[in-house]
Structure 1
Amino acid sequence: MSAAETAAETAAETATRRTPGLVPVGETLRSAERGPRQPAADPGTPPARMPWSFWRLLGSELGLTFRRPRNLLMLAALGVVPIVIGVALRVVAAEDGMGGIIEDVAGNSLMLTFVSFSFLVLLFMPVVVSVVAGDSIAGEAGAGTLRYLLAAPSGRTRLLAVKYVNAVVFAYAVTAAVALPALATGLVLFPAGDVTLLSGTTISMGDGLLRIVIAVGYVGAGMAALAAVALAMSTFTEVSIGAIAATIVLIIVCQVLRAIPELGSITPYLLPTRFTNFDAVLRSPIDTAAMGEGLLAFGAYILLFGSIAWARFSGKDITS
């Protein structure tokens, strides 16, 4: 056997000796860039369009998310809460001398949507979003399916983008799961008509519905920012409950910090502080400055934690 043949055989043996189950970063990046070997195409055949593979992967991810019984149960539970709030307020409003929030809701059906957001946006909605976003990468790793996803020519960046877009869609589904039952319950239990805002101005019902749509868009953006945080947490572990718990603990800690007057200087930088800025639509004119600051904060969180998730995931050896 010649020296060249011996060297080739030694290199082949070395290449086959590798850690079982380990997918190095370099290999997955090369496989994502190169993809499976394809026969030469005819010159007249158009190249495969990369966006189509992204949308196919996203469609599959959305299907899995919205068919999962756990996620559907959480959405249903959120939808029940506004109904319970509406019934409770209707019963209490029957008593004389009630004022404040009860009087506002009893006076117009649309106000129940804003009240429901006030109750749920600071904890219950973030918990539901954290469950799905925190499970996105860690859940695949824990189930042993992440390395197979990366073996396909999907690419780490594209897979991470699909996971985040899926979490954003679910975040808006969570927001709609609160707004729609609240609106329906309000229309059934309370009178419909002109709406009196917090500033004392009266607007038409059509204008009130438009403001609900704006509030839904704003709250959904806040949940999308939280999804970026949970996604970043998910890239640091292979146990999804760890990423979910870390995100929820972070939200709770922020709520505690907001309750301490001496720490008021850091309150504007905490994500939950901006969740309640949707009440800017209840003023005339709409407080666009407050909503703009909130959207700017959401964008900053998405950029920061999205970058952390990408840096961690793109440089991580996959062992599951």
Structure 2
Amino acid sequence: METILSVQGLEKSFKDKQVLKSISFEVKQGEIMAILGPNGAGKSTTIRNIMGIIYPDRGEVIFHQYKDIPRHKIGYLPEERGLYKNVKVMDMLLYLADLKDYPLKKAKERALAYLEKFDLKGKENVNLEELSKGMNQKVQFISSILHEPELLILDEPFSGLDPVSQDVFKDEIRHLADQGTAILLSSHQMNLVEEICDRLFMIQQGEKVIYGSLDDVKTEYANFKCTIRGHNDLTVLKQLPQVQRIDHQPDRAVLYLDHDVTPTLWLKNLPVELHIQELSIDRISLHEIFVDIANSNQSNEKVGEQHA
């Protein structure tokens, strides 16, 4: 796949605080790349540098095939929503398409199609202030993709959406990637990221901590866990080998296994006296990986502060 965006050695400081520390990653054509991190990690600063809203102290943001930032080829859904409330939906969409030098006739055709697709048919002449928060979110999402961008940047695109609308957004984001759009997505909803993203870049305190495909990240960081439904005494479960920790409830237990466990071999060693109504083994979720790494790095920082 062709590389659409390269971020190379990005550094940024505000006064005496360094927010980005040599950040590097790529976004390729037709892939969904997630940029993850806890609040204050540097995600929004990275996006603003890519967009040219602010400029890095060091490093480069390279849009392949373009010398400068090709704003007419970028779609951007910011975390802070900001459409004009007293403007009609269609007027707003056509105005933003015009700013991207997109043909207005084609923009109107695509806008009507998207409004119908997102269950907003008949709302084109309604003022945005009359729409619900979720409907406004849909309109702003449409505005970010109406001009057929080569690179689409989505900052918390699922915020404020009900589950049905989340599914509509997921389907459209995946469809855009299948059509060749390069997508950079920032979200705190790890379950949704895990469902649609191809690669991950996680930052903590302005530094890279994870970078790779979803499969590679889960192989490296996601140990297996075994969920057993049944009434089992905790003392029996504690005797099982290669178990790091146990979340125990009267009728359910989740066993977090060592990194080097081979599930098929481990299952053969389960004692016959275990009460098993249901049993499943899978890797821990991206949410759990995120929390573990974030907490681990915070603990390391505190240790460093104590020894400084």
User: Is TM-score (shorter-chain normalized) higher than 0.5?
Assistant: no
Which has the larger share of helix?
A: 1
Q: Which has the larger radius of gyration?
A: 1
Q: Indicate the structure whose relative CO is greater, using CA pairs within 8 Å and at least 6 residues apart.
A: 1
Which has the larger share of strand?
A: 2
For normalisation by structure 2, the TM-score amounts to 0.21
For normalisation by structure 1, the TM-score amounts to 0.21
